[in-house]
Amino acid sequence: MSNTEKKRYYEAAPQDIDIDNFRKVVESRRSVRKFTDKAIPEDVLDACLDLALLAPNSSNLQPWTFYVVQNPAKKKRLVKACLGQLAAKTASELIVCVARTDRIDEMAKRNINEFPFPEVPAMVKKYYKFIPYNYKTGYFNSLGNFKKVAFKVARTLDKQLPVTAFSTDDAKLWASKTTALACENLVLALRAYGFDSCMMEGFDEPLVAKILNLNNQQYPVMVIAAGERAEDGVFFPQYRFDRSLFIQKI
């Protein structure tokens, strides 16, 4: 290697993954509507949450918070906010998955301050100086409107541009998509540890936000009920429509 050539980081992909067990985890994950009264051990719950945090996310900004609601009074209010669903009533744990657009700057700085090598490359510093603007919209959407005009002009010049946030709704969508990936990690992790879940989108969002004291840049994406599957916890067989409706090879 020459003196001018930079040393690259390499990470080998494990080849000993048991595909049959992975398939079993994915195929046995069900929306469980009724749980037993068995508690999820704290170490298992923490391990599942840690696996959730390994989900892929845009620019490593990790725009999420998982609220594990264990306070009895708050949990009772949360069940009410979940419209009294049986899954919420019987769950050992209720976890509110919240997408956040309120700490983009903080996370960008953390990516520099906690970079995994002693020396942060100049390119990385530059990237995290500017990437927050891709997701921010500014006061009265001033930045979003400026970007909308700039992108429109750039596209007339045949420039390829990334997805960006032109409005607060765009920023919310970005954070919500990323948080949903972490939610999937969480429910698969629970299944791998022998527990089950129900991902609930049917809830009173303003009430959930009030219970958790969220600000207007924190968005509850879903409430995950978790616990041990009751014998009659799955109400119907799983079925999917023909794959040709959803998969196109072009």
pLDDT in tens, 34-69: 999 999 999 999 999 999 999 999 999 999 999 999
Instruction: Identify whether the C-beta of residue 91 lies closer than 8 Å to the C-beta of residue 228.
Output: no
DSSP string for residues in 181-198: HHHHHHHHHHHHTT-EEE
Domain ranges for the chain? 30-101+167-231, 106-156
The whole-model pTM stands at: 0.91
List, for residues 77-96, the tens digit of each pLDDT value.
999 999 999 999 999 999 99
Using alpha carbons, select from 169, 189, 168, 172 the residue that is nearest to residue 55. 189
* Residue 139, burial from CB neighbour count under 10 angstroms (0-12, 13-18, 19+): exposed
Residue keyed to tokens 């049917």 = 202
Q: What is the pLDDT of residues 109-165, one digit of tens each?
A: 999 999 999 999 999 999 999 999 999 888 989 999 988 998 888 888 888 878 899
Question: What number of CA atoms fall less than 13 Å from residue 11's CA on the CB side?
Answer: 0
Q: Considering the domain 30-101+167-231 in this protein, what is its CATH number?
A: 3.40.109.10
Alpha helices in 29-103 (DSSP H): 42-52, 72-81, 86-90
